[in-house]
Structure 1
Amino acid sequence: MTKWVKFDSKSKHGIAVCNFKVERVGFLKLFIGDVVLIYEEGDEWYRGQLSKDKTKKGIFPKKFVHLKEIGIKKTGSLDLSGRITTLELPLIQEITTVLREWHNIWKQLFVERRHELMSVQDMMQELIDQRRKIMSRKLTAEELRDIQQKIATKIDLGNALLGLDLVVRDELGSVLDPDVTSTIQLFRQHEEASERIKSEQELGIKDTQREKIDKTKDELTSMNWPQTFNIYVMLRNFVCRIGEDADLLMSLYDAKLGKFISENYVVKWGKEGVPKDIDNLNNFKVVFTDLGIKDRQREKVFLVIQVVRVGVMDPNDVNDKKQTKCLRRPFGVAATEITDILQGLKEVNEDMQQFIPFQQPSGEEFMESLIKKVVSAKEINHKGQGLWVSLKIMMGDLKQAREEHPHLVTMATAVSRKMGFPEVIMPGDVRNDIYVTIKQGEFTRGSKTADKNVEVTVLVCNKQGEPLKDVISYGCGNDMTNEYRSLVFYHEDKPKWFETIKIAISTEEEFKGLHLKFLFKHRSSSESKDRSERPFAMSFIKLLNQKNGTTLNDTDHNLLVYKIEKKDDKQAPYLDLPCTRDDLEEQGIHKDSKVPLFSGPFTLSQRDSFQINTFVCSTKLTHNVDILGLLKWQELLNELDPSALRLHLEKLMHVDGEEIVKFLQDLLDSLFRILIENTISDTYDSQVFECLVHIIGLISDRKYHQFRPVLDAYITDTFSFPSAYQKLTTLLREYVDRATEVNQKYLVKAMKSLEYLFKFIVKSRSLFNLLEEGKGKVAFEQTMKHLLHAISGMMLHTSDNTLLAQGSALKYMCSAIKDIAQVFDLVELSRLMVEFINNVPKERLTKQKLKCIDDLVHSDLFKYPECRRILLSMILSHTKSLMEEKKEELEDCILVLSDIMDVMYSKDF
């Protein structure tokens, strides 16, 4: 017998999800969508009543209803009881309400046979699908924001199509509450929504596919994606008959440029056809990180998996036991295009599995040519061989990916970095990597009767020729090693490897005197013969330029190949020999010269050649001499060479912006250290100040605007110069006081940099307060007052020479208020801002003045009544006179007054 239990707290509510048609006494008949009030439950049954008709009571099956969390919403102070509403996301509630309203209209459209019927039906189906996605609770915060905007657009278009009222929303698509939103704001949002819907209707956009039609690269850039994103890949399975151990090398490949853009992710696969580490069978996960807008704009991007067999030279040889083991041999390539995924045109998630067909080489084919063949092939005869993977796009940087997807990106998940910098380099992201690609070579037979099976061994050695330990990586997911051994091609005199490894050195100091050493060895198929083989030749290249301390250029290097005549070369003096063809020519030795070049056991082989490519990805090492000079400014001063430092400071203004932002933190540290260095007095002050202004201006430029958070993070977390404010305030005032004398280019740049100059001043003073416990507070306030008064005084000039500087001051002064307010009296600051505006001559920069006034309305000062009283009288005086005298400024004046009404409506006032 069923035991009935009353709910402990209040009754529950449910929605009927299926019809329950029973005519017997004691049962409650239900139709889909009925809301029921439940107050008792049994094993499989509920007892309750209909919400809309409380006289109808009875029992009904639990499976026929879906329980809902219910709350009471009061519509006003006089509404004592309120109305019942579900405790769901406002977006879900809106979709539900819209669907109910549209459904009734849809039925009427069907009866009247109206042409809008199918359009409304498609829209309703899409809203249902989107609602289901949200209810699954699998969306990240970023994905939820995106889907909310799409739904809002869809609802607005549908309402317009059906002639319903327009719903006023904010920028994120949320419905605005008229009780907490000003009339001005409601009007503006209503106007924007009307224009948006009108333009979309004119374009004939009817469904979400509009985002996928005729999408140009510029449109892709404007998508609602962050600056950086990641690709998550999980290897599900690898189906292939190899018979030996194998390395799977997974990476991203740009087919248009014909080069890899990410590090390898290495998975060790066993000869039994399962992973060597069987415990990781369902845990082969990697995140390809540091990707940005430029990567989304690539024309053809592939996920490429190279399969390297690790075993004997020829697995079909019957004398397998006598063969040399552990040779790395090319076995095949698998590739799938992911361009649409990167560009957001194709949706993927971690639950979807994708098959990537596998292609083996024909004979002794190079991996490079096989990759090009696979990515250009329309179909691959894979014979059922291939890999199963799952992919997912993750927004933001790696930290955000870990926070939003903790079940996918764990500490055990491998991270494959881009072979290059992300578009935003945050402070603390220290890299000191050199990517080396072993490209190709040409080797004579020598005493051999056939072409050699050449294996390249890469070592990183110090000045003494000793190899460094654990500094070489050929892919994430694998431990660092002392050396790297290349693929071996059978009887090939012109091998093409195109294998990339990473040299990771922890500090800049360790790079001094280091060089890469390449040993070439013939690998015999026979194990007994292979034991007696020794390296027959070597090449080397130094990591740093000995003349100026810069790193290797990011380019191809044609290395000289030296034959090794003796077995023992550990203490061989080869470092004095030229290492590249360019070095040889610099020494005046022609490449075809018959004069032997040798040192100890090493003799130059004119007929052999070897080519590598290097790419430096470092926040400590640079190719640029001027940046290097600034980073090592102390060494220049110790060498008593002040003119060299002055030259480096001067040339910094002409260095490419890409290089400056790469070393932003270290450059700023160097500039501030030079600025506050007591021993060099004020010799370099003006130049350092101009360099600071140049860097701030560079970050403010639209091209590098994504680095603003980097500069903000530097000021907040890294900046540590308590006395810098004294020099900065003095230098800024000097430039302002000499407004008619100094180079206007630098004065304009200084005015454009006011926000960050004051950020540095305020941060420096705050650090000084912590150290000295508020010492010099009055003197600092006087200095700040004089500085602000000087900027106000600059606005009095009427010459054309100062026009640009004055316009820049009006545009950027208000952006500094938030920081100045931390260390300066707010009322006094308000008076100085009034003086600043009033000093602008009547017929000069009128539009800029009104824009500055509008910025003041939106500043922190306007929130405080005592400041607002001071500012309002000035604002109203200017707007009144302009509205009376200059009709062309009427619209701008009305905008200012409207903003005042809008801002003061806020509950903060």
Structure 2
Amino acid sequence: MASKWTPIADRDKYGIDFIYRSAIRFALSKNTITGIMGIVLTVGTEITSVIREWGVIWKKLYVTSNPDFKIVREMMYELMTWRKQIMSGTLPADEMKELKQKVTAKIDQGNAILGLDLVVRDDSGNILNPEITSTIDLYRAHESATDRIKQLALNIEYKNKRSSSRYNHNLYVTVKNFVCRIGEDADLLMTLYDGKECAFISENYLVKWGKEGLMRDLDQLNNLRVVFADLGSKDLAREKVYLVCQTIRIGGMELKEETRNVRKSHHQNMKRSSDGLRRPFGVAVMDITDFFNGKFETDEEKQHFIPFAQCGERDSLDAVIRKIISAREISQKECKGQGLFVSIKLLHGDQKQIREEYAHLVSPFTSVARKMGFPEVILPGDIRNDLYLTLVSGEFSKGSKKSERNVEVTVKVCNEKSQTLQNCLSFGAGSEPMSEYRSVVYYHEERPKWMETLKISIPIEEFYGGHLKFTFRHRSSNDNKDKSEKPFAMSFIRLMNENGTTMSDQNHELLVYKVDHKRYDETEVAYFKLPSTREELEQRVNDSNYNINQIGVKQLSNMFQTNGIQISPKDSFTVSTVVCSTKLTQNIDLLGLLKWKLNPENLKFNLLALMKVDGEEVVKFLQDTLDALFDILMQ
């Protein structure tokens, strides 16, 4: 109810009961409250009236830069979200009753902040009718409501203090717009980046951008939102943190003539490849360190412009990111007005908490980009089995080509029968699963450096006997030549080690095997008997009583070949892996305890070895570890 009907000072003159009854009559005469007093007032109608009344005062708070402006705005957002749930008519009676109590408590709290009159209610949240309620009951209800609001204010203050000490933190990002002259479809890959370690922190968030200047999926219009989750206090304390957006153009080897002026070359007379090559285009980088450490306040309504820097002809996306970080800031004039418009807000709490407390921001459809690693606190029931693979770099000889190759890497996950596992690869959040991943193609680069990260999600049982298979293909600028090109080499790496542990989190230097297509069959699994990494190769050679440094290239090639593939000692390919699993361990001592039934005679040794296992590793597998220990006690 509005406070215009009588001065607050008149309360001392006329008394609370008289003022309250007059307020109700005034509201009825102005039709600000609908329905008959004594009947439960429709919650949706009350919210509508409150929002209208608050809206006028809220605008005045903005003009006067009142600090209550943001508080009231959050309350109005919550009330509108709750009204939407109420008006949907899908809530059961118990949830409706609980939501009604939340609504009335929020309205009373907001009225107190804005200095409006207190609405006296009964225990069910209904407005009391002064015509049938005694003055004494009204007074007692008034006192009870005042105490309730004071207690609510204390709870909020405690809640705010507690939020600052929470272990889980999240960065909420909304993509407002992307302005860039590309002329072709593009993939925007957004992620968090550690500027000191020069490494990505989180998985990617994919936005598919169309050549028309809008997202390709129009259902995502005004709904490009992502939560970078699982951040801890150590992440907020990093020296330099950046929000990075990599832009990958999808089209021909070279940009179309109408999109930019390029010098004439013999390539212009050739027919451009139309097979949808993924080509590097540019990067947008924003320093968010001050938002993480609290120097600047995050606000989901404030829009930030991130200038766009285009790649040079010989630049990799990773090189451009490092160049921007080490250089001064890019001005709008230098980027020619091209860039990314975003808003950001730091949310505290786990996924369940932020969905409840920030329901107006985080909906069930909001994408969640998880950290490439475990959070500081692993909650019960948080089961993960994700593998993050980064294509780092490679070195490939020309072969029969006159110039360096345009290398495209294709990634597949295969089982022990060399069958491709379907729909287990993705860019990360906001991405549809796919069966094979194709890398960015760098033009005539002998030592391409990709630094591309993809997410692999497969069932636990598929890890045993499974492996990653990489094929390398030269992509030509000419359509006819490109169609005839076949993979010239391949690499692979097993997901599990021979001792039963999962592959370690590190860089893996893989061996590259040349492919003879006249003899090579993709369904063959004979290559699985060959060494996959440089470390395995050295071990095999040493076991054969040879010196890896003295053995010749030809002899090495003859030693490791089978069914159309032969090792290429001069070529190399490096990948990096991070395993985030609560079921598959990389620790041999912990594995011995979890699998103690296979070798019960080693039980004493396994129990003693458990004492040496890092506590963080035990927490990841706490439930399985406790199950194993209780099973041992029962035996």
Q: Provide TM-score, normalisation by structure 2.
A: 0.73
**Residue 129 of structure 1 corresponds to which residue in structure 2?**
66
Tell me whether 1:610 sits opposite 2:573 in the alignment.
Answer: yes
Deviation at 1:403, TM superposition (A): 1.1
Deviation at 1:661, TM superposition (A): 1.2
Deviations along 1:317-372, whole A, 9 cap, x unmatched? 65586424300000000011111111222112221111111000122201111011
**Residue 45 of structure 2 corresponds to which residue in structure 1?**
none
Structure 2 residue corresponding to 1:593, chosen from 552, 555, 568:
552
Tell me whether 1:645 sits opposite 2:600 in the alignment.
Answer: no
**Residue 535 of structure 1 corresponds to which residue in structure 2?**
487
Change (3 A) 1:305 1:654: same
Tell me whether 1:581 sits opposite 2:534 in the alignment.
Answer: yes
Q: Please give the secondary structure, in 1, of the residue aligned with 2:444.
A: coil
Whole-angstrom distance in 1 between the partners of 2:592 and 2:622:
15
Change (3 A) 1:128 1:525: closer
Q: Please give the secondary structure, in 2, of the residue aligned with 1:571.
A: coil
Equivalent position amino acid for 1:559 in 2: L
Once the two structures are superposed, the pairs formed by residues 223-622 of structure 1 within 5 Å of their partners are: 224-315=164-255, 316=257, 318=268, 322-380=272-330, 381-507=334-460, 509-546=461-498, 548-566=499-517, 567-587=520-540, 588=542, 590=548, 593-594=552-553, 595=555, 596=558, 597-622=560-585
Is the CA contact (8 Å cut-off) linking 2:410 and 2:439 kept in structure 1?
Answer: yes
Once the two structures are superposed, the pairs formed by residues 649-798 of structure 1 within 5 Å of their partners are: 649-677=607-635
Equivalent position amino acid for 1:444 in 2: S
Change (3 A) 1:139 1:628: farther
Q: Please give the secondary structure, in 2, of the residue aligned with 1:370.
A: helix
Q: Please give the secondary structure, in 1, of the residue aligned with 2:66.
A: helix
Deviation at 1:286, TM superposition (A): 0.6
Whole-angstrom distance in 2 between the partners of 1:396 and 1:451:
50
The structure that has the greater radius of gyration is: 1
Tell me whether 1:625 sits opposite 2:588 in the alignment.
Answer: yes
Deviation at 1:133, TM superposition (A): 3.9
Deviation at 1:379, TM superposition (A): 2.2
Deviation at 1:675, TM superposition (A): 1.2
Equivalent position amino acid for 2:316 in 1: F
Change (3 A) 1:53 1:465: closer
**Residue 200 of structure 1 corresponds to which residue in structure 2?**
none
Deviation at 1:653, TM superposition (A): 0.8
Is the CA contact (8 Å cut-off) linking 1:437 and 1:612 kept in structure 2?
Answer: yes
Whole-angstrom distance in 1 between the partners of 2:438 and 2:10:
72
Equivalent position amino acid for 1:368 in 2: D
Is the CA contact (8 Å cut-off) linking 2:306 and 2:339 kept in structure 1?
Answer: yes
Change (3 A) 1:236 1:576: same
Equivalent position amino acid for 1:571 in 2: E
**Residue 45 of structure 1 corresponds to which residue in structure 2?**
none
Q: Please give the secondary structure, in 2, of the residue aligned with 1:251.
A: strand
Number of residue equivalences:
501
Deviations along 1:67-89, whole A, 9 cap, x unmatched? 99xxxxxxxxxxxxxxxxxxx9x
Is the CA contact (8 Å cut-off) linking 2:270 and 2:478 kept in structure 1?
Answer: no
Whole-angstrom distance in 2 between the partners of 1:269 and 1:350:
22
Deviation at 1:279, TM superposition (A): 2.4
Whole-angstrom distance in 2 between the partners of 1:661 and 1:302:
30
Whole-angstrom distance in 1 between the partners of 2:627 and 2:307:
51
Deviations along 1:33-60, whole A, 9 cap, x unmatched? 75467xxxxxxxxxx9999999xx9xxx
Is the CA contact (8 Å cut-off) linking 1:539 and 1:562 kept in structure 2?
Answer: yes
Q: Which runs of 5+ in 1 are unaligned?
A: 1-11, 17-29, 38-47, 69-87, 89-124, 149-175, 182-220, 637-641, 678-909
Deviation at 1:510, TM superposition (A): 1.7
Q: Compare the two structures and name the one with the higher helix fraction.
A: 1
Change (3 A) 1:401 1:610: same
Deviation at 1:262, TM superposition (A): 0.3
Equivalent position amino acid for 2:407 in 1: V
Whole-angstrom distance in 1 between the partners of 2:321 and 2:620:
32
Change (3 A) 1:129 1:339: same
**Residue 14 of structure 1 corresponds to which residue in structure 2?**
3
Whole-angstrom distance in 2 between the partners of 1:312 and 1:51:
77
Equivalent position amino acid for 2:516 in 1: E
Is the CA contact (8 Å cut-off) linking 1:541 and 1:580 kept in structure 2?
Answer: yes
Equivalent position amino acid for 1:518 in 2: F
Bigger RCO (CA 8 Å, 6+ sep): 2
Q: Please give the secondary structure, in 2, of the residue aligned with 1:352.
A: strand
Deviations along 1:827-884, whole A, 9 cap, x unmatched? xxxxxxxxxxxxxxxxxxxxxxxxxxxxxxxxxxxxxxxxxxxxxxxxxxxxxxxxxx
Whole-angstrom distance in 2 between the partners of 1:412 and 1:14:
40
Whole-angstrom distance in 2 between the partners of 1:584 and 1:570:
24
Q: CA RMSD in A?
A: 3.4
**Residue 729 of structure 1 corresponds to which residue in structure 2?**
none
Q: Provide TM-score, normalisation by structure 1.
A: 0.52
Deviation at 1:270, TM superposition (A): 0.6
Q: Which runs of 5+ in 2 are unaligned?
A: 34-49, 51-61, 79-104, 110-145, 152-160, 258-266
**Residue 842 of structure 1 corresponds to which residue in structure 2?**
none
Q: Compare the two structures and name the one with the higher strand fraction.
A: 2
Deviation at 1:524, TM superposition (A): 0.7
Is the CA contact (8 Å cut-off) linking 1:292 and 1:423 kept in structure 2?
Answer: yes
Is the CA contact (8 Å cut-off) linking 2:163 and 2:348 kept in structure 1?
Answer: no
Equivalent position amino acid for 1:593 in 2: G
Give the percent of matched residue pairs that are identical in Structure 1 and Structure 2: 50
Equivalent position amino acid for 1:335 in 2: V
Is the CA contact (8 Å cut-off) linking 2:412 and 2:420 kept in structure 1?
Answer: yes
Whole-angstrom distance in 2 between the partners of 1:622 and 1:52:
69
Whole-angstrom distance in 2 between the partners of 1:332 and 1:611:
23
Q: Please give the secondary structure, in 1, of the residue aligned with 2:462.
A: helix
Whole-angstrom distance in 2 between the partners of 1:560 and 1:248:
31
Is the CA contact (8 Å cut-off) linking 1:35 and 1:50 kept in structure 2?
Answer: no
Is the CA contact (8 Å cut-off) linking 2:225 and 2:366 kept in structure 1?
Answer: yes
Equivalent position amino acid for 1:644 in 2: N
Deviation at 1:377, TM superposition (A): 2.6
Whole-angstrom distance in 1 between the partners of 2:396 and 2:630:
53
Q: Please give the secondary structure, in 1, of the residue aligned with 2:538.
A: helix
Deviation at 1:402, TM superposition (A): 1.0
Change (3 A) 1:13 1:578: closer
Is the CA contact (8 Å cut-off) linking 2:164 and 2:348 kept in structure 1?
Answer: no
Deviation at 1:399, TM superposition (A): 1.1
Is the CA contact (8 Å cut-off) linking 1:511 and 1:543 kept in structure 2?
Answer: yes
Q: Please give the secondary structure, in 2, of the residue aligned with 1:630.
A: helix
Equivalent position amino acid for 1:601 in 2: G
Whole-angstrom distance in 1 between the partners of 2:459 and 2:414:
15
Deviation at 1:394, TM superposition (A): 1.2
Is the CA contact (8 Å cut-off) linking 1:332 and 1:360 kept in structure 2?
Answer: yes
Deviation at 1:632, TM superposition (A): 1.5
